Amino acid sequence: MTKPFPSISIFFPCYNDRKTIGTLVSDAYEILKKFTHTPEVIVIDDGSTDGSQNLLKKLKKTNYHNLRLMFHTRNLGYGAVLASGLTHATGDLIAYTDGDGQYDIRELPRLLALVDGDVSFVNGIKEERHDPIERIILGNLYKFIARWMFWLPITDVDCDFRLIKGSIAKKFKLKTTSGAVCVCLVKKAQRAGAIFAEVTVSHYPRRHGQSQFFTVRRLTHTLYEFLLLWVELMLLKKI
């Protein structure tokens, strides 16, 4: 197959995803070899306690010597992981999705097909959300509030399957550590000149572990950061 893209990085946030992260890494290498001669796969482990780090070290030693691993010594939050990934990825295109297996990295060609001279940020839209009903309700409310508070150029900011041109990602820094980081990412990319496109992607039930976002503590912290972000991004208009 022709390899039309000069370099592509994929990174995975990982927190207690030992049962799914190995398959995602394997699938990432398989899909990348079809599209680029210079693949890069990165896993950022955010202080896992389930043996994820040992598994990743074994994968690197025995199967994927070029696998880049980053270990946070303690759980710093999803925003810190995304900041690490976007900062250290070296590809002309940077893709990421979560390490829990709710998105299929083998669907990356759907996103790649939309990248052209103008489009620099492709965001997934969940075809059908496979989560408990309370998460679906909260997720839809979250998307609605976020989109209209921040005038976001996409419909599904809650879909963590994205492809970004490296030239855009290097124009801004992420500072928030909560789930509000995705709003921050999209808005800062928009301010940095990104042209957006969206495409439907599959969403699968979470088979292992549990969400770190939809808890009272996380939601409270996210609401607080939402207010701070609104002041920073909408009133002060900072990148």
User: Hey, which residues does 123 pair with through a beta bridge?
Assistant: 162, 198
**In this structure, which CATH number among 3.30.70.520, 1.25.40.10, 3.90.550.10, 3.40.50.300 belongs to the domain 8-235?**
3.90.550.10
pLDDT at 97: 97
Domain boundaries along the sequence of the chain: 8-235
User: Hey, which residues does 94 pair with through a beta bridge?
Assistant: 9, 164
* Greatest extent of the chain over all pairs of C-alpha atoms, in Å: 51
Q: Tell me if residue 100 falls in helix, strand or coil.
A: coil
97, containing H or E segment: strand 93-97
| Tens-place pLDDT, residues 99-142 | 999 999 999 999 999 998 799 999 999 987 656 676 667 767 77
pLDDT at 22: 97
Mean pLDDT of 36-60: 96
pLDDT at 132: 63
How many Cβ atoms sit within 10 Å of the Cβ of residue 38?
14
Mean pLDDT of 225-234: 83
Q: pLDDT averaged over the chain?
A: 88
Mean pLDDT of 157-167: 95
More confident residue, 21 or 143: 21
